[in-house]
Amino acid sequence: MINYKNYPPNWLTEIRPRILKRAYNRCEQCSVPDRALIKRNTSDKFKWVIFDTEELGYVHPNGRPLTYEQRERDYTENEVIVILTIHHIGIPKPDGSAGDPHDKMDCRDDNLIALCQRCHLLQDLPNHIANAKKTRLRKKIEREQEEIARTGQLQLFGGL
């Protein structure tokens, strides 16, 4: 869940709509439209097809219908409803200091990008990996400290 306390007060009323408008309500990375029902290509992550309510079937972004064979061969079985979110990139500050993707108050246009859930997850992936690494490192240090405490005690008892 988003904690809007970390965001500027005009996030929902001004900033978010401004970025979505700039993006033409599409993911700025893979260009899927917001709220569309789509299937993704299994080998090309930037290709997708959209459910067309008039065709009652999936069509390419240019409106060309998808053949049954293409759908079965090239597209995922599961369907996804696209929900765009605004990602804070964390670009460097004007003074040259490092940016921070966790700083939700940094709403410079260049720092914000509209992304579908999949592209957003991929953006956050390096953070998830970095956090997992940190957790593993912390556990390793804890284990080593326990080992030192344990062997220290053993040496103490051994000395008696």
**Residues at the site binding Zn ion, with contacts judged by CB under 5 A:** 27, 29-30, 116, 119
Q: Which is nearer to Zn ion, 47 or 71 (CB)?
A: 47
Give me the least distance between CB of 9 and Zn ion, in Å please.
28
Tokens 């290709």 correspond to: 47
Give me the least distance between CB of 144 and Zn ion, in Å please.
42
Q: Which is nearer to Zn ion, 29 or 111 (CB)?
A: 29
Give me the least distance between CB of 87 and Zn ion, in Å please.
10
Q: List, in sequence order, every beta strand (DSSP E) within 9-136.
A: 37-40, 48-52, 57-59, 80-81, 85-88, 112-115
Angstrom distance (rounded) from CA 95 to CA 152 = 50
* Nearest CA-CA partner of 85 in 109, 120, 110, 111: 120
